[in-house]
Structure 1
Amino acid sequence: MKKKIANKDTYAGIMYSMDFMYWYTYLKRRIAKGWSAEEVSFLLGRAPFYYSDFERMHNVGRILQEERMLLDRIYQDSTTEAMTFHRERYETNEERLVRVNIEDQRFYKDYEIIIPWVLASKESYTENGKTKIRSCAVPELTFREWKEDESLESVSDATIDVREKLNRLLKSKYFKEGRAPDEIFQVVEFTGQHNLQILPKHLKDGLYNLIKAGEVCVRNVDGRYLLFEI
């Protein structure tokens, strides 16, 4: 029996070391949440491909400048993955090439990140006039992203829960002034049930149904999509 060959993907981009730290942090946060890149684009109020372009390292510096505060709010976390870049005295801070290799299997994706910098595992510091050595955290550059496999029951429960919450919001005139997707998600995400998880895609589907029903509409405000009542 022949073994199925994984789909392979590879891409690369140019960035500064500090931009890499943030890029890596947001990649790991998305994976930890179990969200897709398209779902994050939705929460940002951007086109579906927007966040995927960021993860594929297109215009990393510009997107970080525009989106960092909102991404921290979406992930409810403003910390960054710990990493210490070792730099020789003659080295300057310049953009360098980062490469990502992905093997896409049926149930998961395996990532390999190849970076041009040396990450220090130890660093020296001075305490009470004495030089000491301490360990530094080193990020994983090979890791796995498991693909979520929702049951029909969980999808149905999430759909019903989101629909009921959106209907209540409509009745309260919540959408009168216009609401951003991430703002709405914060309202509907909590369920109080350990076996019921609301994902951004559930909210996106619920809003789409309201749009089809003529209850709300989408407007582009300063480059981001907002939802308004009709």
Structure 2
Amino acid sequence: MNKNIVSKDTYAGMMYSLDFAYWYTYLKRRIAQGWSTEEVSFLLGRAPFYYTDFERMHNVGGILKEERILLDRVYQDSTTESMTFHREKYEVNEKRLVRVNIEDEGYYKDYKIIIPWVFASEESYMVNGKTKIRSCAAPKLTFREWKEEESLASVSDAIIDVREKLDRLLKSNYFKEGRAPDEIFQAVEFTGQYNLRIFPRHVKDGLYNLIKAGQMSVRNVDGRYMLFEI
């Protein structure tokens, strides 16, 4: 069966193996949530292209140093994807080239990650002074990202739900001292309805509407955007 490929993309970047483990973890978490890179940038209080640069492997180590704690808070998970790298005794820890190939087929994207390391199939560990061997899991380097399709009705319901919650927060002076986007999202995310899901983009749109209405303002605080009531 032939693929109906809309477009292809490829990019690469240099990173340490430990940085790759975090980069891969956050990539898979974003995809699992169904968020775009622009939505994650919003939750981090950064410019729209910020997280896209991270996924395209621009300054991975530097961005991880800045954002790891907040990313764990955004995803509400501080674990890392399981992977153990096999190294020969002569190998040193150094930055190496990682490449990503993406085939966009309209409704989904197929990822293929090409790495310069080899994953270990097993590792040794000590128990009561004795060496034991256990098998190691290896992450999948080919996987699929489905594009979220929302109906007009679900988008309308989400916008109404977010607007009502933001109005209540405004009346309670929630924004008086300023709030970060990830805090706001977590405050309005829960709906209690299995057929209604709030995405960061819904919250971003709701906040921008309040800004346009002159009820809120956005300020840059230490390099991150914060929302304040007016």
The TM-score, its normalising length taken from structure 2, stands at 0.97
Percent identity reads 81
Q: Which runs of 5+ in 2 are unaligned?
A: none
Aligned-partner residue type, residue 18 of structure 2: M
SS of 2:157's equivalent in the other structure is helix
Q: Which runs of 5+ in 1 are unaligned?
A: none
Q: Where does 1:135-154 land on structure 2 (aligned, <5 Å)? A: 135-154=135-154
Residue correspondences, number: 229
Deviation at 1:132, TM superposition (A): 3.1
| Structure 1 residues 61-105: Cα deviation after superposition (integer angstroms, max 9, x where no partner) | 000000000000000000000000111110000000000000011
Deviation at 1:122, TM superposition (A): 1.4
> In structure 1, what is the Cα distance between the partners aligned to 2:80 and 2:16?
15
**What is residue 92 of structure 2 aligned with on the other side?**
92
Distance 1:67 1:124, change over 3 A: same
The TM-score, its normalising length taken from structure 1, stands at 0.97
**What is residue 216 of structure 2 aligned with on the other side?**
216
> In structure 1, what is the Cα distance between the partners aligned to 2:92 and 2:57?
22
Distance 1:16 1:3, change over 3 A: closer
**What is residue 42 of structure 2 aligned with on the other side?**
42
> In structure 1, what is the Cα distance between the partners aligned to 2:210 and 2:30?
27
> In structure 2, what is the Cα distance between the partners aligned to 1:144 and 1:3?
14
**What is residue 166 of structure 1 aligned with on the other side?**
166
Runs of 4+ in 1 over 2 A off after TM superposition: 2-6, 124-133
Superposed CA RMSD in Å reads 1.2
Is contact 2:5-2:103 (8 Å) kept? no
**What is residue 33 of structure 1 aligned with on the other side?**
33
SS of 2:220's equivalent in the other structure is strand
Q: Where does 1:117-132 land on structure 2 (aligned, <5 Å)? A: 117-128=117-128, 130-132=130-132
Deviation at 1:126, TM superposition (A): 3.8
SS of 2:100's equivalent in the other structure is strand
Deviation at 1:130, TM superposition (A): 4.5
Deviation at 1:124, TM superposition (A): 2.6
SS of 2:48's equivalent in the other structure is coil
